[in-house]
Amino acid sequence: MDQPAAHKILLVDDEEAITENLSAFLKRSGFQVVIAANGQQALAAIGDESPDIVIMDVLMPEMDGRQALRQLRREENWIPVILLTQIGESTERAMALEEGADDYLNKPFNPHELVARIKAVLRRAKQGQPPLSAAWILTSGKLTLDRRSKKASLDGDPINLTPKAFSLLEYLMTHPGEVVSRERLLDTVWGWDYPIGTRAVDTRIAELRSALGDNASQPIFIETLPVLGYQFIHDVWVGK
């Protein structure tokens, strides 16, 4: 494992069983790992160790992951953060993205999925720049997404989206260029698995496409990748 620059991960969780097992796995996957047990320690470690990415639990004693993340972003520190959400509550998931986390995973998760997330986030992150997920307004060509008021518009004309379709678009737009599997979309946008699973996602994507006037065979925004899932292919930038 002596790649020249193994990425350094700061793993923050108060459960030793998790940090121990997970750090062993992450090291085997080729990362350097530093551990902290709460938000306070995490903030200190970010200063001392300058990790490349932070994997942080939400519920922790002393200072929880949410507070730590908020403090980081308030200080305009845009280090990539993946939150490990505790409860399946949709509010917590929504919060994770709104507070400027780059991504989040529901516990319990497959550690391979975590590694995939880490790699995707590291690929996407631009040094010292706020992630798209920390922005209230996102623009992609004619499409504008106002995440605070939950409104989308195309060429200035507001488009009607159901809350779920909006969340779906929001997730895809904050992860442009990334292949997102249907399972992943279910887990993040719906919060739980459905028997219909993939079909529920497909239905919503179709709804989104027709609202965006996007053609599935020649997409401007959302491309279908057979078997793999979906990808937001247009460039996305912060603000109008």
Partner 1 sequence: MKFKTHWYLILPLTFGFVAALLLNYTALPNPVLYLRADLGTFLFLIGAGASCLGWITASFVQRLKFFEKEIEEKSVRDRRKFLSLLDHELKNPLTAIMAGLANLNDGTQQETLHSVEAQVQRLSRLVADLRKLSDLETRPIEMNGVNLPVLLEEVFVLAQSRAGEDRVLNLAIPKAPWPLPEIQGDRDLLFLAVHNVIDNAIKYTKPGDTIELRANEEGSQVRIEIADTGPGIPASETSQVWGELFRGEAARGIPGSGLGLALVQAIIRRHGGQTSLRSQLDKGTVITLTLPTHGVTEL
Q: Which is nearer to partner 1, 194 or 237 (CB)?
A: 194
User: Quick check: 1 binds partner 1 (CB under 8 A)?
Assistant: no
Q: Which is nearer to partner 1, 211 or 233 (CB)?
A: 211
Q: Which is nearer to partner 1, 15 or 146 (CB)?
A: 15
Q: Which is nearer to partner 1, 191 or 219 (CB)?
A: 191
Please report, in angstroms and rounded to a whole number, the separation of the first and last CA atoms in the chain.
Answer: 44
Q: How far is the CB of 200 from partner 1 (least distance, A)?
A: 5
Q: Which is nearer to partner 1, 12 or 134 (CB)?
A: 12
Q: Of residues 23-42, which lie at the interface with partner 1 (CB under 8 A)?
A: 24-25, 28
Strands (E), 86-211: 103-106, 137-140, 143-146, 151-154, 157-159, 179-180
Task: Scan for tokens 């997404």, then name that residue.
Answer: 145
Q: Of residues 186-225, which lie at the interface with partner 1 (CB under 8 A)?
A: 190-196, 199-200
Which residues does 177 contact at the CB level (< 8 Å), separation at least 6? 124, 231, 232, 233
Q: Of residues 56-115, which lie at the interface with partner 1 (CB under 8 A)?
A: 84, 86-90, 107-112
Q: Which is nearer to partner 1, 162 or 215 (CB)?
A: 162
Q: Which is nearer to partner 1, 52 or 187 (CB)?
A: 187
Report, in angstroms and rounded to the nearest whole number, the Rg of the chain calculated over CA atoms.
18
Options 21, 50, 129, 210; binder of partner 1; rule CB under 8 A: 21
Q: Is 120 helix (H, G, I), strand (E, B) or coil?
A: helix
Distances (CA, A) of 125 to 52, 108, 128, 187: 10, 25, 9, 22
Total residues at interface with partner 1 (CB under 8 A): 33
Q: Is 43 helix (H, G, I), strand (E, B) or coil?
A: helix
User: Quick check: 228 binds partner 1 (CB under 8 A)?
Assistant: no
User: Quick check: 15 binds partner 1 (CB under 8 A)?
Assistant: yes
Closest by CA position to 103, among listed 88, 125, 73: 125
Q: Token digits for 20?
A: 């121990």
Q: Residues 205, 225: contact at Cβ < 8 Å? A: no
Q: How far is the CB of 168 from partner 1 (least distance, A)?
A: 12
Q: How is residue 191 annotated by DSSP?
A: S
Chain-centre distance for alpha carbon 205: 19
Q: Residues 137, 238: contact at Cβ < 8 Å? A: yes
Q: Of residues 161-190, which lie at the interface with partner 1 (CB under 8 A)?
A: 162-164, 190
**Contacting positions for partner 1 (CB under 8 A):** 15, 17-18, 20-22, 24-25, 28, 84, 86-90, 107-112, 162-164, 190-196, 199-200
